[in-house]
Every structure is written in structure tokens, then in C-alpha cells.
Amino acid sequence: MVPSSKLSLTRPRQKLIHLYHKPLLSHVDLLILFYTVISGVGGTLTAIDNLGQMGISLGYSPRSISTFVSLVSIWNYLGRVMAGLVSELLLKKYKMPRPLMLTIILLVACIGHLLVAFHTPGGLYVASVIIGFCFGAQWSVVFTTISEIFGLKYYSTLYNFGSVASPIGLYILNVTVTGHLYDKEARKQLAALGLVRKAGQALNCTGVHCFRLSFIIIAAVTLSGALVSIILVLRTRKFYKSDIYKKFQDETKVEEKELAFARH
């Protein structure tokens, strides 16, 4: 039989832990986040991975292509910092659910993808800034959201679970969509010139049509991720309206009392 003094310590802690933290993997919130990362991070990673080839296809100089890479790196860092800072301020001041920041980021990323699809002179510079910023911002918000909704007990597992969605999204959107459509357009251009591709010859595509359909699809997938993330916003709005930091502080205090009791 458990002593009543020990029960008084364990019950509050159990209540706090299960206040919102739900079972892993079976929780729909985790699946929503997983799909959001596949669509959002997968799309921005596809753009970053093809940045050099896009620059060549659209007629940019090697110096400009190097600038695109630099812009992505710089704004990737700024996205990580700014998204975390802004979402924290909005959460504290307006009780705005953090997943709503993720929704906004994905909608902004759609603009970057459409700038690639419907290219205008110099548009790739702006697209590099937007895509780099959104790529970094997503990681900052996603992992913070995971820690808040599911707690820190299984955070390392959840961190890796969230991370694995990135290569899955990259494979789907980069290899099966972008790569396939790029090669298809390159073959069309070869056929139009009356040329036949030799064995082992690399396919090269020139013009805005090389990546247009691919990035329209990527923008649509990213938009679907934004719409799905709204479900998470609605499911967690009550949680974020409460004092989530007080809950974590109370949980820590109860755990400290348990440790002190165990020592005696």
C-alpha cells in the first residue's frame, strides 16, 4: 500500500503531466505536425537544393547564383531567430497559438514558390530571401511546438520523428516531382531541336518552363500543409490561452518535492 503522504505528491504530478500531454504517435496532433513538416520543409528544401540549377535555367550568372546561396544561408539564420522571438512575444501578449505562426510561415513560403514558378526578372533574389527565411523559421517553430504540446519526457524521440519528415518531403517533392518534370521538359526541348540524347548525356533545360509546373505543385502542397496546420491551431487554442509556463513550473516544483521526499 502506498503511503498517503506519497500519494499526495504523485497525484498532482500525474494530473499536470496528463493535462495536455497525450500518448505519442497515436495522437492526431503529431500526425498533423508530421504532414506540415513534409509539405513545408520538403518544399523549401527542394527549392534550396535546386537553386543552382534554377539559376542556370533562368540565365543568371555564376556570381548571381552564389548570391542566391548566400541569401538563403543568411535568411535561414534570421528566420530561426525571428520566428522564435516573434512567436514568443505574440504568445505572451496575445495568447496566440504557436502553430498559427507555422501556418503564416507556410503561407509566406507559397509566395516564394510562386515567384519561382512565374519568374520575373530578378525574382529569384526575392524568392531566395523568402524561401531561406521560411526554411529556418519552420524549424524554430516546429520543435518549440512539439516541446510545448507533448512535453520534454520524450522530446529526443519526437525531435527525430519530426526531423525524419524533412527527407521524406524532400524525396517526394524533389526526386519524384521536380526531377521528373525537369527531365521531361528537357527531353521536349531536345526533341524540338531534332536532337537525340546520347547514352549518359546529362539533360539540360532552359527557360521558365523547366521548374514552373514543379513549383506550382510545391506551392499547392505547401498550401495544403498550411490549411492542415489550422486544425492544430483550433485543437490547441485553449491550451495556449492558459498559462502554459506556469504549468511547467508547477510540474517542476512537484518533481522537486518528490525527489526531496525520496531522499528521506
With 0.85 as the threshold, say if the pTM is over it. Answer: no
The predicted pLDDT at position 73 comes to 96
Q: What is the pLDDT of residue 26?
A: 45
How distant, in Å, are the alpha carbons of 2, 183, 197 from that of 149? Answer: 31, 42, 53
> Does 203 reside within a domain?
yes
How many Å apart are CA 196 and CA 192, to the nearest integer? 10
In a domain, 8, yes or no: no
- How confident is the model at residue 24, as a pLDDT? 45
- Pick out the chain residues at pLDDT < 50: 1-26
Quote the domain boundaries for residue 148: 28-245
Neighbour-count burial for 47-70, b at 16+ CB within 10 Å, e otherwise: bbbbbebbbbbbebeeeebebbee
CATH number of the domain encompassing residue 34:
1.20.1250.20
Q: How many domains does the chain have?
A: 1
> Is residue 75 one of the residues assigned to a domain?
yes
Does residue 253 sit within a domain?
Answer: no
